[in-house]
Structure formats: C-alpha cells, structure tokens
Structure 1
Amino acid sequence: MSTLTRLAVGAAATALAGATALAGAGIAGAQDNVKLVFDSPSSVSVTGTGTNTKITYTNASGYHLTCIAVAGEQGLINEFYTTYRANPKESTPPALQAKLEAAAKAGKLGAYGGYVADGKSAGLTEDFAGTGGVVGQGGLKDGSFAPAAMAICSGFDEEKMVPYVEVEVTAGVGVPPVLGSLDAALAGIGSSGSVANATASLGS
C-alpha cells in the first residue's frame, strides 16, 4: 500500500504542469525552482468526524489549485507537518511513515482532494481523482476524535514560470501547546491555522 505521505505529496506533484513525479520525496526536492509556501493567506478547515468528516479549502493564493489533504488525529498530523516543514526535500522518516500506514489501516487517517479556483472555497472529497492518479486511500472511518488536517495544494506561477505549492494546516497544528490551545479557540470563531501561520512566519 502506498503511504499517505507519498500519496499526498505525489498527488500534489501530478498537478504541477511538467513537474517530475516525486515518488515519495519532498516536493521541493523534485524541482529546485518550485515555489513552496507555508504561510499563504489560504486556509483549510475540518468539520465532522469519522465518515462524516468534511474538508474545506479556501483559496486566497492568486492561483487555481489542485489540493490533496490528509486528516487524522492532531498529534499525527502535527508530526507529519512539522517533519515535512523542517525538511521538505527529504523523504518521510521510516518511523513516521509506519505511523501513517498504521493509522490509515485503522481508519484513523484519510485522504481527500479537489480543485479549488482562485478566490473560492471548495470541499475536498475522498473520491477525488487527481491528474495522473487517484487518491485511493479513502476518508476517515474512526469517529472517536475531532480530526486535524494538512493540505498540499499546487498550481503554476505563469509570470515566473515556476510551479507553485502551498501547504496549510488546521488550527493548532504546527504550534507549541499553549499557542495550539489559543489557535483551537480561534477556530471556533472562524479562524483556520491563523496562529500556526503567524508563528511559522516569525520562525522562518
């Protein structure tokens, strides 16, 4: 079974016009001139649990995007995001890859995808067929927890002639525990990843 890491990153790569397939490597590692953004004005949100999970992406990037998202327990999504952000050119460490596979098999990790026009919001679905590949892993099955999500969205900067990729997470992912609590509270009034993005921006 393909890992969720390879699925999300590889599927996002297929939408990059002419870009090299990633086969499990980080997006930036496939093509050095890719524009990779972690603090875009876009956002991803999650409602529901288990089979009723709904993922929505709001695209404020300035580009039309193809998005692939993974949703699961917050601790695992946080580990996936922080590991990827720290080393976007590297393959996922075997220990984390094993965790992702185990969570997927247990119904605790799901994959979703869809096209999102610039300036629009759209739902990402578990049966989305991306360019050159199908999401395939299916959505969440376990409804015992409130899921977090990480979305990898790709487009193309026609002015600079380079692929564009942005990575967004839901509230509380990628921030210290105290800020994570604040971010989760903000999520209840319509924020998505705001503190996470602000913190990431300050740390970059």
Structure 2
Amino acid sequence: MDFRSSEQAARTPLPSTARDGLKIVIVGGFGVGKTTMVRSVSEIRPLSTEETMTQAGIGIDDGGSHGKTTTTVAFDFGRISLNEHMVLYLFGAPGQERFWFLWDRLFSGTLGAVVLVDTRRLADSWYSIDRLEHHGMPFIVARNNFGQPEHTLEQVRQALDLSADVPLIDCDARQRDSSKAVLLTLVNHLFALSSVRETTP
C-alpha cells in the first residue's frame, strides 16, 4: 500500500467556510477513555502521545488493574467540524497524577471541558472537577459506559456532588456518534451559559 496516498485519504481538509474555532479539553482519571474519545471522533489523524508502560511505572501508574499497556504522557489532539462554520479542537489531558502539572497549560484558551468518568472509579474524577471549578471553566460530565450501568445518572450526580446546572450524560467513547453527541452537549451548554450572561443586567 502507498503510505503517502493512505495518509492523504485519512485527512479531512478544514472547510473554507470555517469561521469559529473552539478549544475543548477532555479530562478525567487514568484509563477512562479520553484517548479513545479523541480517536473515535477526530476527522483528522489524531496526534497521540501514548507510550508503552514499563516496569518503571509499577506502583506509580495503575495500568495493570485496567489492562492498559500504554499511557498518554503529554496530550492527545484531534479536530472535528460540527458544521460548515464551527470547528472544535480537542485536547485529551493525561490522567495520571504525575502529569497533572500539564493541565493548567492545556486549560489556557479553553472554552469548556468534558469530564469523562468511569463509575467503577468515580473518585478518580474528583480532581478533574475540582480543577475545572477552580478555573471557573464550564464543563459537562459524560459517563463512559464499559458495560451495563449499575447506577442511575442521578446517583452518579449525587456521588460527584454535581450542581443541577452541570449536564450529565451517557456515552460510549468508542463510538463516533456517541462521542460527537457529548461534544454537541458541551457546545450547547456553552451557548446557553453565554446567552444567560448576555441577558443578565
């Protein structure tokens, strides 16, 4: 197979009509599916900084318990055009605590965030929510279903102590349509917040 032609076929050019670009960050605990979401929804070949986990990570990264053999060491990057005018630039943040120092840099210029959660490890999401609230950044929460959910979304909301105005939805990060629905929910949330600010005296 001709590598060059396959590369070109994998690229979707940015529409000439694009006029609005939004930077979005996807955060969450280690192994919740952030890299998977960026890969599933991006219309360009994603930039990935996944590296193979080594013996040096034992006791530091919790990969073995999740069956993970690779881990993001900087960030993932992808792009999706929601329509002919709006483009989202997606940044998937690393989930391990030792890379949290990168988050403040990733948050710079970001309009909103998706907190991806795994209900089997809800406590891993608390840091993400805390940092976003600290920055005053709008966000939504998406439960990435790895199987049949054992809890209702309302139970998840209560466990995470989410306010009623934070959207909480289900998704499957492996599915493009599902991941795109998550991003649309965030964009609609951002527009709703913007409209409220514009009408508030």
Normalising to structure 1: TM-score of the pair?
0.26
Larger strand share, 1 or 2 = 1
Bigger radius of gyration among the two = 2
Give the structure with the larger helix fraction: 2
* TM value normalised by structure 2: 0.26
Q: More relative contact order in 1 or in 2 (CA 8 Å, sep 6+)?
A: 1
